[in-house]
Amino acid sequence: MRRLVRPVCQVVRPLLLLLVVLTISGCVSTAYRDDPLEQFMVNQQASLALNTLEQLPQKNRDQALYHLNKAILLRMNDEFDKSNAELEIAKQIGANLEALSLREQAAAVSVNDAMRSYLPAPFERAMLYGLKIINYLEMNDLDGARVETLQLDVFLNQKFEEQEPPFARYLSGLVFDANGELSDALIAYRKSYEAYKAVEMKIPQQLQSDLLRLTDYLGLDDEHQDYLDQFQLDSWAHQTELEAQGEFIVVIFSGLLPRRHETAINAQDPRSGQLHRVAIPFYEQRQSDVENIELVSLNNRQQGELFEQLDQQAYDNLDDQMPGIIARAIARVTVKNQLVDNVSNQNQLLGVITNLAGFITEQADTRGWNSLPQQILLGRLTLAPEDYDIEIKLKGSAGEQITTKQLTQVSLQPGQKQFYSWHWPASHVTSRNRNHENTTSTTIYYRSR
Amino acid sequence: MNHHLTGAITLAGILIFGGVLQGCSTTVDRIETDEVVDLSGAWNDTDSRLVSEEMIADVLSRPWITDFVNKEGNPPAVIVGEIRNLSHEHINVNTFVGDMERELINSGKVEFVASSDERGEIREERKEQELHSTEATRNAMGQEIGADFMLKGSINSILDTEGKKQVRYYQIDLTLISMADNRKVWVGQKKIKKMVKQAGLRW
What pLDDT, in 10s, does the model give residues A86-102?
A: 999 999 999 999 989 99
- Indicate if A44 and A180 belong to the same structural domain: yes
The dihedral through the CA atoms of A379, A381, A382, A385 has a sign that is negative
- Indicate if A300 and A446 belong to the same structural domain: yes
Q: Is A154 on the interface with B (CB under 8 A)?
A: yes
A121-177: pLDDT as tens digits? 999 999 999 999 999 999 999 999 999 999 999 999 999 887 899 999 999 999 999
Q: What is the CATH number of the domain that holds B78?
A: 3.40.50
Closest Cα in chain B, distance from residue A181 (Å): 12
Total count of domains within chain A? 3
Q: Where are the beta strands (DSSP E) in chain B?
A: 77-86, 111-113, 149-162, 165-178, 184-197, 201-202
- Indicate if A91 and A162 belong to the same structural domain: yes
State residue A141's pLDDT score.
96
Q: Is A105 on the interface with B (CB under 8 A)?
A: no
DSSP string, A55-92: HS---GGGHHHHHHHHHHHHHHTT-HHHHHHHHHHHHH
User: What proportion of chain B, given as a percentage, has pLDDT over 70?
Assistant: 88
B25 lies in a domain?
A: no
CA A164, CA A188: separation in Å to the nearest integer?
A: 12
- Indicate if A263 and A231 belong to the same structural domain: no
Are A95 and B198 in contact (CB < 8 Å)?
yes
Is B126's pLDDT higher than 90? Answer: yes
Rg of chain B over Cα atoms, rounded to whole angstroms, equals 27
- Beta bridge partners, A380, equal A249
- Indicate if A268 and A401 belong to the same structural domain: yes
Is A415's pLDDT higher than 90? Answer: yes
Which one has a higher pLDDT value, A399 or A33? A399
State residue A307's pLDDT score.
98
Residue among A101, A151, A158 whose CB faces B203 most closely: A101
User: What proportion of chain A, given as a percentage, has pLDDT over 90?
Assistant: 77
Are A147 and B198 in contact (CB < 8 Å)?
no
Q: Determine the residue among B87, B154, B202 to mutate to test chain A binding: the one whose Cβ has the most chain A Cβ atoms within 10 Å.
A: B202
Residue among A102, A103, A147 whose CB faces B88 most closely: A147
Closest Cα in chain A, distance from residue B89 (Å): 6
B6 lies in a domain?
A: no
Is A353's pLDDT higher than 50? Answer: yes
Q: What is the CATH number of the domain that holds A90?
A: 1.25.40.10
B160-186: pLDDT as tens digits? 988 889 999 999 999 999 999 999 999
Residue pairs spanning A and B at CB distance below 8 A? 38
Chain B CB contacts of A101 under 8 Å are 201-203
CA A329, CA A81: separation in Å to the nearest integer?
A: 41
Closest Cα in chain A, distance from residue B126 (Å): 30
State residue A21's pLDDT score.
47
Over residues B104-132, the mean pLDDT reads 90
State residue A254's pLDDT score.
97
DSSP B171: E
Q: Is B143 on the interface with A (CB under 8 A)?
A: no
- Indicate if A217 and A256 belong to the same structural domain: no
Q: Is A106 on the interface with B (CB under 8 A)?
A: no
Are B161 and A147 in contact (CB < 8 Å)?
no
ipTM of the complex: 0.78
Total count of domains within chain B? 1
CA A25, CA A264: separation in Å to the nearest integer?
A: 11
CA A355, CA A342: separation in Å to the nearest integer?
A: 11
Q: Where are the beta strands (DSSP E) in B105-148?
A: 111-113
Residue among A96, A147, A158 whose CB faces B85 most closely: A147
- Indicate if A406 and A279 belong to the same structural domain: yes
Chain A CB contacts of B41 under 8 Å are none
- Indicate if A127 and A170 belong to the same structural domain: yes
Q: Which helix (H) or strand (E) holds A192?
A: helix A182-198
- Indicate if A171 and A276 belong to the same structural domain: no
Q: Is B167 on the interface with A (CB under 8 A)?
A: no
- Indicate if A236 and A138 belong to the same structural domain: no
Are B201 and A101 in contact (CB < 8 Å)?
yes
Closest CA to A226 of A239, A204, A238, A208: A208
Other C-beta atoms closer than 10 Å to the C-beta of A24 total 15
Are A100 and B200 in contact (CB < 8 Å)?
yes
Q: Is B90 on the interface with A (CB under 8 A)?
A: yes
Chain A CB contacts of B202 under 8 Å are 96-97, 99-101
- Indicate if A396 and A432 belong to the same structural domain: yes
Q: Domain residues for B132? A: 41-197
B7-40: pLDDT as tens digits? 655 655 655 555 554 555 778 889 888 888 888 8
State residue A1's pLDDT score.
45
Work out the pLDDT band at B100, boundaries 50, 70, 90.
confident
Neighbour order of strands in the sheet with A305-309: A305-309, A375-383, A246-254, A417-424
With H, G, I as helix, E, B as strand and everything else as coil, classify residue A180: coil
- Indicate if A232 and A282 belong to the same structural domain: no
Q: Domain residues for A191? A: 38-201
